[in-house]
Structure 1
Amino acid sequence: MSDIRVGLIGAGYIATWHADALTATPGVRVAAICDVSEPAARGMAEAHGAQPFTSVGALIDSGTCDAVHILTPPHLHKPLAIQCLRAGLHVLVEKPVATSAADTREILAAAEAAGRRFHAGHNFLGLPGYERLKGLVEDGALGRLSACEISYALPLSPLRSGPFNLWLLREPRNLLLEVGPHLMAFAVDLFGAPEIRFAEATRPVMLPGDDPRPQAFRILARAGGVEITLTVSLVETQDDRSVTLRGSSGRARLDFASDVLVVERENSSDLVVNPLRKQLDLGWQHLREGGRNALKQALSLNQKGPYALSFRGMDAAIYARLSGPQDARFSGSSAVTVMQALDDALALIPPAALSVKAPAVQTRKPRPTAMVIGGTGFIGRALTRRLVSDGHDVRVLSRGRSGPFPDLPDAVETVGVSLNDLDGLTEAMTGIDVVFNLAKSLDRTWAEALVNDVGVATRIGMACEQAGVKRLIYTGTIASYDMSDPGVTITEDTPFPDDMSDRNLYARSKAECERQLMKLHHQRGLPLTIARPGIVVGHGGPLQHWGIGRWHGAGAVRIWGPGDNILPFVLIDDVADGLVRMAARPSAIGESFNLIGEPMLSARGYFDALHEALGARIRVSSGNLTAFFLSDAVKYGLKKYALRKRGVVRPSRADWKSRAHFSPFANDKPKKMLGWSPETDRSAFVAQAITHANLMGF
């Protein structure tokens, strides 16, 4: 089959990787994008020359596809896969392909009945380094294998800082189902169906409502005469995603996150030269692997990183053989074996480690007078709980109907309303006195930001007008200011730059949101107040805070600038207090407030305090802002002129300097007008920002 037309069902984060890989696969093109969010489907479809759809039925009826990739949350995989197979489409299903082996068998049976292919999205099996590793095994280059260790050690920040309404956090078992297929797929492909001998789930962390989730799993198995250990660690840890094989003639380690394969073998030199020769050989291999990967990414303009190559390898293997023998790595029968092994492991884990805390029993229906849009986020969660503690019932707007408030059923209701639906928003605001808009969008172009951020903020303002809301609190950002001059103290009277076309999209978009909402205030009387929090820290926030610098895993950070100037930190509880006070003060209408804590710490001071409090020494280095800018300028040129990407934001040195927060802030206005009192004691600040914030997860 030539010119295979593929549709993507689901336009989230992972869809971009699939789309890019399919575009690079010979004889394949992306023909359709389907998502319940029409803007998401349309935006991605336009970027790839595809047709947008908002229902799978409409995609099927259009006849535009020969195959689909199902990229939705896992609990939707089985019905969608079966629907598409019965309609005559081949399917690839992202991992986990289903939530159980039984469901996976149903998908495979539907594929066999329809005479179509069912593929599992175990993308790392398509990595070039893995193919070389498997070749070593098949050639016997490692001798007789005795042991295999497969590790997935990578921080999963949603466990500690949210969002908590993700599928993988709904049940403890979902965490293993989310990560486990990567590991188990390696074991199954190398050795066949494993016999699971032991499994445990450890290092629990409490989600909101004191609902525990494990952050580590360990599984012991045996297959093909090989002892297999699978380890998952999701706390803040050094990245170690690897497959290590030990044989009688050598030890091979594949870093599948970096596509680096290194083989350690003995040599026949004497006792003096032997260890030196061994280390020189390992050093040469690392140099070769690193150099080859760097050259590959440079020549491809960063289009061939390891993760991208894994998807390309998977798609190439699948679509080159769509009409011939199926590649066993990605076959439906392999998927069944993988999921059965995970089911067997889950069955051996003590039930207490996988139990879900029963939600509190509702004794009355909430009678909300406050609405929080973006209530499942870091600030939104703290604000919602503060409102409840003050005696208010709250309506939280979310993409789904579940939220991080299982312990507050009498006071918090979560409703799912599209932010693009003016009538739906207006109806949801019925009976609401105050609306807190904490929503933000992550856009790649200014055109997208105008629709998804500015358009949404304006629509929420209009809904507040129609519903008769007494106060709208909009949360902007201090990033909209020009903070590049240490000699300029920023107050609420400091204007944003007149021309923000060369500022980062987040700063520019938030400034435009404020401008449009203020226009509604001045022209139509919208009861608006604007809040601009600083760098928010505290319980529920992330360790890897990008307001401070560029992070490289959990152990290294490059600060924006030298890192010696005082940063505009503010505690999360102080932000919630400021927002509540804005809603309670009639004099705050038409005003804006910068919620900046008292001067406390520089970036370097923050990391020194973190080391002192937690015993975690993070490698901190200064970031040369000119170098950041020049690197960004080169990327801009390549994206715009070499890759022909549209809507690329032109970088500026001023924007990079602004990220360093050189300009100090004055917080007199919120203290005077609102009676706001942010934390003044340094030790108390550090205790709340770091010591008790559970930044590491353990």
Structure 2
Amino acid sequence: MPTPIRVGLIGAGYIADWHADALRATTDVKITAVCDLSEAAARAIADPLGARVFTTVQHLIDSKACDAVHILTPPNIHKDIATQCLAAGLHVLVEKPVAESATETAEILAAADFAGRHFHAGHNFLGLPSYIRMKAAMQAGDYGRVSGAEITWALPLSPLRSGPFNLWLLRQPKNLLLELGPHLVAFAHDLFGEVEILHAEAAHPVTLPGDDPRPQSFRILARAGHVEITFTIALVETIDDRSVTLRGSSARARLDYAQDVLVVERENAADLVANPLRKQRELAHQRLVEGFSNAFTQFRSLNTRNPYGLSFRGMTAAIYSALAEGKPQDPRFSGQTAVTVMRTIDAIIAKLPDKVLQTAAPAVQTRAPKPTALVIGGTGFIGRALTRRLVADGRDVRVLSRGKSGPFPDLPDRVETVSASLHDLDALTAAMRGIEVVFNLAKSLDDTWADCLKNDVGVALRIAMAAEQAGVKRLIYTGTIASYDMSDPNVQITEDTGFAEDMTDRNLYARSKAECERKLLELHRTRGLPLVIARPGIVVGKGGPLQHWGIGRWHGAGAVRIWGHGRNILPFVLIDDVVDGLVRMIDAPVVGQSFNLVGEPMLSARGYFNAIHEALGAKIRVVPGNLTAFYASDSVKYLLKKYALRKQGVIRPSRADWQSRAHFSPFINTRAKQGLGWQPEHEKARFVEKAITNANLFGF
């Protein structure tokens, strides 16, 4: 039996899970190391695999724990890590974009050639089974002589409109092309060879904080030999269209690479009457076959072989079979192809008007901020609005963030961003020195109760202890109305309603936030923690998402399955009203109290979508969700995860928990109005204007 190739993952973010799943399914490969600055993030991936954990690349290299690495870090550090690993004798696969320019990519290739190692590019969609079929059919002449191609990435990119804004992706306009362009250009190069860029334009600009514009769509005209190519990138709220369409003399082939579906439209020799019927029957037959085939594949694999996952499996299988057998690199994923693709991306950027690539100059700092308020979670939807409101009220603010920059480039005199781990008590205490009020907006979405206790409850308690040690005058904690049992329409909810004693049958988010409140209130009673609790409702307004999961389960921007029948009034609240309530908690004599920040009764789920239709002309397909069916389906998934996939720590929320998602129980907001002097928007027309008309829900 051959010795498996030992692979390390450098970077333990979202994309690492996809690489790990693909590598586990690849013959003669074993994941032996995971490296990330966050040991906890690395361990979450490494421990189930029996892999070693590292927090620096050099330690991973020195350990001799692997033969190859996948570099899954932010793109601006790809080149340095790749050349470091190549020099140490490791093969590398670099997630796209492999670098920030063709020049940097060529440097990685040169390092690979010098070291005698392989450099691979993470062009995963080229490993998709349906794409391989399309390419083979085109090369066999099945589509005739191909004269045109449309290659499209149309998928909403919510960070452009609702953050977080400190991502590498949003630092410069060209980064959007660097991130998404390789998918499209890799298809074109693999199908047709060298691509010449003729024209590039951008549209649908959106303004990031600090009056910094970013385009949300690109249209590029290109040519490869005799094939005319159109690349389209659309990041506004749009129907998902990630496709490659080839127009040939004998057929038109359309690959939906997000769904792994290939459909070919051909002419037929039937008479004029039967011809259109036969054509549509053939197309319908193909779609049925593709649909049933994909459904069977996902059902048989318990959804572990979805199209995106299959693309990674195809890529890793091609790369490591060649490595194991000592064969030349698959050209789809070779370093030379990576250089060619990045050269084309550079050419696209060069064709864009200068004004598209410009970024706003950061405001010049004239004084150092003297913060008296600390916002933890200040880069999120509520946190951003809260920080700006505090500044407008005359306060300087310190924002705690994972990074060293935040979404406040226009406020350098008033806002400072500091980086501190929420698991480091000393760092948290230091961040609170001189602070009068701390807003804890942090939340952790975990998969097990053990992780909730560590990353949510433990963090909330650590923040409270830091506040005590730093002498903070008031700690304002944001819980959630989701912790209530909202399943009974005959029960009115006030702050006196309370949570269930036993919440083991609730979803982890609701249970965890309730446990945070219980522990914090215990500290208030026993040690005098100056605590106030806020529980916002379904928060809407500018900066918030169209696809709000508090309303229903979304299927792209055009369809939503609402929780329940959708006729009951939902606990909506405007973002500005939530912020106003939080600010009022600073000085009001309300220590030890909690407040449900829920607006006046306005709209049901159906009413909300009707208002979107009337105000914006966009009709979203709204389907009622049978909550019993949701519960039954979830129960089946629970059994499969626990007994078939043998996953640890899985939970099964109760039927009442699912009914609570529909927010059947009405809220009474009297306490917030009386105790805080809070006055949420009460006129429906103005509510709709702020929540929908002027909220930029669709990005344009």
TM-score tier by shorter-chain length is over 0.9
1:591 to 580, 590, 593: 593
Shift of 1:555: 0.3
1:41-80 to structure 2, matched below 5 A, reads: 41-80=42-81
1:460 aligned residue: 463
1:507-546 to structure 2, matched below 5 A, reads: 507-546=510-549
Secondary structure of 2:216's aligned partner = strand
Answering whether residue 319 of structure 2 is matched by residue 346 of structure 1, we say no
Q: Which amino acid aligns with 2:253?
A: A
The whole-number CA distance in structure 1 between the counterparts of 2:258 and 2:44 is 29
1:210-609 to structure 2, matched below 5 A, reads: 210-322=211-323, 323-585=326-588, 587-609=589-611
Shift of 1:65: 1.0
Q: Is the 8 A contact 1:636 1:651 kept in 2?
A: no
Q: Which amino acid aligns with 2:626?
A: N
Q: Which amino acid aligns with 1:194?
A: V
Shift of 1:224: 2.7
**Identity over aligned pairs, percent:** 73
The whole-number CA distance in structure 2 between the counterparts of 1:286 and 1:220 is 30
The whole-number CA distance in structure 2 between the counterparts of 1:654 and 1:65 is 48
The whole-number CA distance in structure 1 between the counterparts of 2:514 and 2:30 is 38
Shift of 1:606: 0.3
Shift of 1:505: 1.1
Secondary structure of 1:463's aligned partner = helix
The whole-number CA distance in structure 2 between the counterparts of 1:55 and 1:519 is 40
Answering whether residue 630 of structure 2 is matched by residue 625 of structure 1, we say no
1:89 aligned residue: 90
Q: Which amino acid aligns with 1:345?
A: I
Shift of 1:47: 2.5
Show CA shifts across 1:384-443 (max 9, x none): 000000000000011111111111111001111111111111111111100101011121
The whole-number CA distance in structure 1 between the counterparts of 2:22 and 2:503 is 34
1:117 aligned residue: 118
The whole-number CA distance in structure 2 between the counterparts of 1:574 and 1:661 is 20
The whole-number CA distance in structure 2 between the counterparts of 1:480 and 1:4 is 47
The whole-number CA distance in structure 2 between the counterparts of 1:504 and 1:57 is 40
Shift of 1:471: 0.7
Shift of 1:68: 0.9
1:657 to 648, 659, 664: 659
Secondary structure of 1:597's aligned partner = coil
Q: Which amino acid aligns with 1:492?
A: E
Show CA shifts across 1:337-389 (max 9, x none): 11000000000100101100001111111110000000000000000000000
The whole-number CA distance in structure 1 between the counterparts of 2:91 and 2:453 is 37
1:668-687 to structure 2, matched below 5 A, reads: 668-687=670-689
2:140 aligned residue: 139
The whole-number CA distance in structure 2 between the counterparts of 1:627 and 1:523 is 44
Structure 2 unmatched ranges of 5 or more: none
Secondary structure of 1:443's aligned partner = coil
For structure 1, which segment, 135-144 or 635-644, has the greater mean C-alpha deviation from structure 2 after superposition?
135-144
The whole-number CA distance in structure 1 between the counterparts of 2:73 and 2:440 is 27
Secondary structure of 2:246's aligned partner = strand
Show CA shifts across 1:535-574 (max 9, x none): 0000000000000000000000000000000000000000
Q: Which amino acid aligns with 1:407?
A: D
Shift of 1:528: 0.9
Secondary structure of 1:584's aligned partner = coil
Shift of 1:137: 1.4
Shift of 1:49: 2.2
Shift of 1:57: 1.3
2:643 aligned residue: 641
Q: Which amino acid aligns with 1:24?
A: A
Secondary structure of 2:532's aligned partner = strand
Show CA shifts across 1:582-620 (max 9, x none): 1121x2111111000000000000000110000000000
Shift of 1:274: 1.2
The whole-number CA distance in structure 1 between the counterparts of 2:468 and 2:18 is 41
Secondary structure of 1:320's aligned partner = helix
Show CA shifts across 1:160-185 (max 9, x none): 11111111111111111111110011
Q: Is the 8 A contact 1:368 1:431 kept in 2?
A: yes
Shift of 1:125: 0.4
1:179 aligned residue: 180
Secondary structure of 1:462's aligned partner = helix
2:129 aligned residue: 128
The whole-number CA distance in structure 2 between the counterparts of 1:330 and 1:522 is 61
- Structure 1 segments, 4+ long, off by >6 Å, are none
Q: Which amino acid aligns with 1:609?
A: A
Shift of 1:506: 0.8
Q: Which amino acid aligns with 1:595?
A: L
Shift of 1:502: 1.9
The whole-number CA distance in structure 1 between the counterparts of 2:587 and 2:365 is 28
Shift of 1:2: 3.2
Secondary structure of 2:651's aligned partner = coil
For structure 1, which segment, 345-354 or 270-279, has the greater mean C-alpha deviation from structure 2 after superposition?
270-279
The whole-number CA distance in structure 2 between the counterparts of 1:477 and 1:651 is 17
- TM-score for the superposition, normalised by structure 2: 0.99
Show CA shifts across 1:645-678 (max 9, x none): 0111123111100101001111111111110000
- TM-score for the superposition, normalised by structure 1: 0.99
1:32 aligned residue: 33
Q: Which amino acid aligns with 1:142?
A: Y
Q: Which amino acid aligns with 2:653?
A: P
Shift of 1:48: 2.4
Secondary structure of 2:586's aligned partner = helix
Shift of 1:61: 1.4
Shift of 1:244: 0.4
Structure 1 unmatched ranges of 5 or more: none
The whole-number CA distance in structure 1 between the counterparts of 2:138 and 2:224 is 14
The whole-number CA distance in structure 2 between the counterparts of 1:263 and 1:102 is 39
The whole-number CA distance in structure 1 between the counterparts of 2:8 and 2:458 is 28
Q: Which amino acid aligns with 2:647?
A: K
Shift of 1:89: 1.1
1:102 aligned residue: 103
Show CA shifts across 1:154-213 (max 9, x none): 011111111111111111111111111100110111111211111111110111121100
Secondary structure of 2:238's aligned partner = coil
Show CA shifts across 1:228-275 (max 9, x none): 110000000111000000111111000000000011111111111111
1:690 aligned residue: 692
